[in-house]
């Protein structure tokens, strides 16, 4: 009987683990597939063009490259194999450059959210090209970059680094590994890149390291190494951001609204930007991005965040007035207000997606616009409406046109609400900004395009994009359960002694 009970318990635990690992169908849909608006040639495209051009130009560096087949000992065209290797080195260089969060790069790539998106694509390209390179490379005839013994050692080390690269990529794509652990393992990409550079430099190539192409790739590798060191040493270890303290806390049904007061020099930001927050005293040291809800003229910062996540859930339980917070920012280029005051403005917000528009009220209250921006704000219940008092006041004074939709009261925001407010071409040339759940934004984007909107600004910030369910809470439950059992066991042992 005891064995049967034990077997049932094991079966129950196994089923629970499998259910957690499989998650739901939505968990297996890659993030970032939805991009609103239509492609337009604008300044942020320059960064992508530069990155792709710097990678593809290397095709001509390997013109006429040949190798010797190990089986037949006949020469073959080695250009694809060598070019694939150069792609991996250059793609990893750009991946490290884009991880630095340099504001000058935001201008070229259109914001930090897009920089991280291209950071992930660069990493994916590097992995694919590494695999292709190792599958087709052979004994290459060319100019040695170092002695045969050094080149051989670097090649063997690169083979080990390749295995680590695949493991790290799988850990990045499959979100089973909790974020706070993953962000540390992700830093191991840097030594993998350094090893790849050493292999590329010492291997035989059609050109010498002192030639024009050799200097080109050497410079690129040095830039990539400096970028990685800048991120790991300067950004993560030395420059930790500005110090603030928690001055007010407001807890909603599913959100946390906090205000921070600087203890020194405050950060500078514009409407619609976000910042990274770290609560070291609470054990919440991993930086998380949140949109700033306060206006640029205020030295204090305000943040509103959903409390459904693991990190925000723990923060809600632990945060207290006077807590020290490290803030890094502001980042982002999703401006709620256009430069030209006569452009029509449409805002769509869902839940905590209202934060960038609350920040813009600071500018509108001092410099109202005609026509006033139309704000469509969708929430599940009235208790979840953040900043409703401020929004109502702005609506009554004519600063904005507020359209509040509360699903619980039967007023769900739909595409018909947009099309009924605007005619077929009324949004032509309009400044359209949206922030909220992807499903809502997808429907509202179609409606806005139907009314003539050509470009829709959406900031989808996701540091770790991937598939599979996030098992952070499950892992925490297991750790807490094990810790409780260990504590009870120690208590029993001490009591018997």
Output the furthest CA–CA distance in the chain (Å, rounded): 83
Number of Cα atoms under 13 Å in the Cβ half of residue 109 = 27
The alpha carbon of 220 is separated from its chain's Cα centroid by a whole number of angstroms, namely 24
Q: What confidence score (pLDDT) does residue 389 get?
A: 92
More confident residue, 443 or 463: 443
- Percentage of the chain beyond pLDDT 90 is 40
pLDDT class for 332, splitting at 50, 70, 90? confident
Average pLDDT over residues 464-485: 71
Q: Evaluate if residue 494 carries a pLDDT over 90.
A: no
Helix segments in 280-414, DSSP class H:
310-318, 355-366, 388-396
Does residue 44 surpass a pLDDT of 70? Answer: no
Residue 159: count other Cβ atoms within 10 Å of its Cβ.
Answer: 12
pTM (two decimals): 0.84
CATH 1.10.3370.10 fits 242-331, yes or no: no
pLDDT of residue 361: 92
Task: For residue range 64-79, list pLDDT tens digits in order.
Answer: 777 666 655 666 567 8
Task: Give which of 347, 469, 471, 466 is closest to 33, Cα–Cα.
Answer: 466
The CATH classification number of 345-458 equals 3.40.50.80
Tell which wins on pLDDT, 29 or 72.
29
* pLDDT at residue 373 in the model: 93
Residue 330, preceding bond cis, omega within 30 degrees?
Answer: yes
Please tell me the distance from the alpha carbon of residue 369 to that of residue 377, in angstroms, as a whole number. 19
When pLDDT is cut at 50, 70 and 90, the band that residue 453 belongs to is confident
Q: How far apart are CA 304 and CA 312, in angstroms?
A: 11
Averaged pLDDT, 148-172: 89
Segment 105-129, tens digit of pLDDT: 988 888 888 888 889 889 999 999 9
Task: Map residue 461 onto helix, strand or coil.
Answer: coil
Angle between helices 44-56 and 112-136 (to 10 degrees): 10
Q: Where are the domains of the chain?
A: 34-238, 242-331, 345-458
Enumerate residues 6+ apart whose C-beta is below 8 A from 256.
Answer: 249, 250, 304, 305, 307, 312, 315, 316, 319
Alpha helices in 111-261 (DSSP H): 112-136, 148-173, 179-185, 189-202, 212-229
Average pLDDT, the chain: 84
- Residues 220-239 have pLDDT tens digits of 999 999 999 999 888 877 77
The pLDDT tens digits of the residues spanning 301-329 come to 999 998 887 888 889 889 999 999 999 98
- 10 Å Cβ neighbour count for 477? 12
Which of 40-44, 250-254, 346-350, 432-436 comes out lowest in average pLDDT?
A: 40-44
């Amino acid at each position: 009987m005891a064995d049967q009970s034990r077997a049932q318990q094991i079966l129950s635990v196994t089923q629970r683990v499998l259910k957690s690992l499989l998650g739901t169908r939505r968990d297996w849909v890659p993030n970032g597939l939805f991009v609103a608006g239509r492609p337009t040639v604008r300044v942020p495209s320059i960064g992508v063009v530069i990155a792709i051009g710097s990678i593809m130009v290397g095709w001509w560096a390997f013109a006429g490259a040949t190798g010797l087949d190990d089986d037949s000992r006949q020469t073959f065209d080695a250009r694809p194999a060598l070019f694939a290797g150069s792609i991996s080195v250059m793609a990893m260089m750009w991946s490290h450059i884009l991880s630095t969060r340099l504001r000058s790069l935001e201008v070229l790539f259109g914001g930090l959210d897009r920089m991280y998106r291209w950071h992930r694509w660069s990493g994916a390209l590097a992995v694919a090209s590494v695999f292709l390179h190792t599958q087709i490379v052979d004994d290459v005839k060319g100019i040695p970059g170092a002695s045969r013994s050094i080149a051989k050692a670097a090649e063997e080390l690169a083979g080990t680094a390749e295995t680590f690269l695949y493991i790290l990529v799988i850990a990045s794509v499959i979100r089973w590994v909790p974020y706070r652990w993953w962000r540390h393992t992700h830093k191991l990409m840097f030594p993998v890149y350094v090893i790849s550079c050493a292999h590329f430099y010492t291997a035989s190539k059609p050109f010498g390291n002192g030639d024009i192409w050799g200097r080109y790739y050497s410079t690129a590798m040095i830039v990539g190494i400096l970028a990685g060191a800048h991120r790991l040493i300067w950004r993560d270890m030395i420059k930790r951001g500005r110090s603030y303290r928690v001055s007010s806390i407001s807890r909603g049904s599913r959100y946390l609204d906090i205000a921070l007061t600087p203890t020194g020099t405050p950060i500078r930001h514009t409407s619609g930007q976000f910042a990274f927050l770290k609560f070291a005293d609470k054990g919440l040291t991993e930086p998380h991005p949140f949109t700033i809800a306060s206006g640029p003229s205020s030295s204090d910062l305000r943040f509103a965040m959903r409390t459904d996540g693991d990190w925000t859930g723990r923060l809600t339980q632990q945060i207290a007035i006077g807590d020290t917070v490290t803030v890094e920012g502001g980042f982002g280029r999703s401006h709620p207000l256009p430069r030209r005051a006569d452009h029509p403005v449409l805002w769509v917000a869902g839940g905590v997606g209202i934060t960038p528009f609350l920040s813009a009220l600071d500018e509108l209250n001092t410099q109202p616009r005609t026509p006033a921006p139309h704000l469509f704000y969708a929430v599940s219940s009235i208790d979840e409406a953040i900043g409703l008092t401020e929004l109502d006041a702005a609506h009554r004074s004519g600063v904005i046109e507020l359209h509040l939709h509360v699903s619980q009261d039967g007023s769900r925001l739909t595409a018909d609400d947009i099309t009924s407010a605007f005619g077929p071409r009324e949004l032509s040339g309009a400044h359209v900004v949206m922030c909220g759940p992807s499903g809502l934004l997808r429907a509202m984007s179609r409606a806005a395009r139907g009314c003539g909107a050509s470009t829709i600004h959406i900031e989808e910030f996701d540091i770790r994009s991937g598939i599979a369910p996030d098992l952070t809470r499950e892992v925490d439950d297991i750790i807490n359960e094990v810790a409780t059992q260990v504590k009870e066991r120690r208590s029993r042992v001490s009591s018997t002694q």
